[in-house]
Amino acid sequence: MIGYVVGVVAIAIGLGVSIALHEWGHLFPAKKFGVYVPKYMIGFGPTLWSRRIGETEYGFKLLPLGGFVALSGMYPPAHDGEAPRDATTALFDNAAQDAAESAERHGGRSAAQAFNAIALQDEPADDPKRMFYLLPWWKRIIVMLGGPVMNLLLAVVAYAIMLCLIGIPQETTTIGSVSQCVLPASSTATECSAADAASPASAAGIEPGDRLISIDGTAVTDWVQATGLIRADAEQTIPVVVERDGEQLTLTATPIRSQRVVIDDQGDAVLDADGQYQYVDAGFLGISPAYATTPQPVTAVLPQVWSNIAQVGEIIVQLPVKVWDTAATMFDPSATRDPNGPLSVVGVGRLAGEITSLDTVPFLDKIASVIGIFASLNVALFVFNLIPLLPLDGGHVVGALWDALRRGWARIRQKALPRPIDISRLTPLTMAVFALLAVMSVVLILADIVKPITLQ
């Protein structure tokens, strides 16, 4: 139980750090570019603690569900002569402000002003020129990308620690276990019966702890190579040289022909178009590798980050469908959730808790797993915030790029520069996106409570 709590708390702290640094990624460039930033807050709701440093109030709020940086003049004036509109980098605050401003345009006397009074406490900039919307387009992009970039950097650092300092479990050429009998790869049996034939490895006298030296005269350098040699020697008697207790022994084995899962050059199982395992008749000896935690080279970090980004991107593209499938599993007792499907923060915390509570997993491997979850969480935040829809950071980036194109085209045509683009006009889209995200979040949270993805 203590181990489970440790895992959940570790992810909660990691999420808090991710949120704090995400918002700092917006805060730092905004201040460097001279934007007035009255607030930097972690959490939402009533303020638990705050302190003013310079012109900015830093603090923590009651609900640790996110954070925000208040930017003065984030939106330009809706009409000539009006004051620019302040906003924050938070999803909810921006969506709420858009709704308030939409209501005001349709008759609400001071809805937007009331919102600003709550979110920013009517703290105007001393200098009206210190408005966010007055920044050059490229500076606005830097400010809005600052948050996602911080999540990306956190992911890179976390993966570097996990891969290079701790390492990951890898197959070795040492034998971890020896099958006592021969079962087809598609068999669901977990124990040998009297009718099952003894495995070739057991019959040859191969034991757990033996280190493979060569198979059929070919020196063994890794387990994938050893598997390929065994599969190619079906029904042929071959010498197998192993090292046991510091001495080399030459044993004789005859791999039988058996139905095995098809594997690629990296040793990964190959799936067909329907996502099912493919099988082939190949040589079978009946041995499995021992694993050892092995540090990886620095060059392994960025490919791992990119692979994670690609995985998250695929999930996001299919997110509505995957969330729908997840919702369906909650009402079907016989259905199981896709282990590679989307998770809420609740699900991530539960998985971390399960990992840290396992007695069979070495301590360093537990730490590496939790760090890996933290890295994946930041990759998800990075990719998610780059979606080019408001109120996400990517939506503001697209707005700045569109503004740059409009102004560039005006310069080419030697026309007067147009007014800064008012992306708050996309209020209906903003609210639709926000509503969709809210619904999907609720579904995933409920699924992670009612039918969670577990390690079992």
Query: Which are the catalytic amino acids?
Result: 23
Could you give the CA distance from residue 173 to residue 225 in angstroms, rounded to a whole number?
Answer: 10
Residue 178 half-sphere exposure, CB side, CA atoms within 13 Å? Answer: 18
The first and second tokens of residue 90, run together, are 């938070």
What angle, rounded to 10 degrees, do the helices at 319-330 and 427-450 form? 40
Burial of 389 (0-12, 13-18, 19+ CB in 10 A): middle
* β-pair partners for 85: 75
Contact of 422 with 133, CB cutoff 8 Å: no
Distance of CA 78 to the CA centre of its chain: 38
The first and second tokens of residue 434, run together, are 């926000």
Question: Cα(first)–Cα(last) distance of the chain, in Å?
Answer: 17
List of residues 6+ apart from 366 with CB closer than 8 A: 7, 355, 356, 358
CA-based radius of gyration for the chain: 29
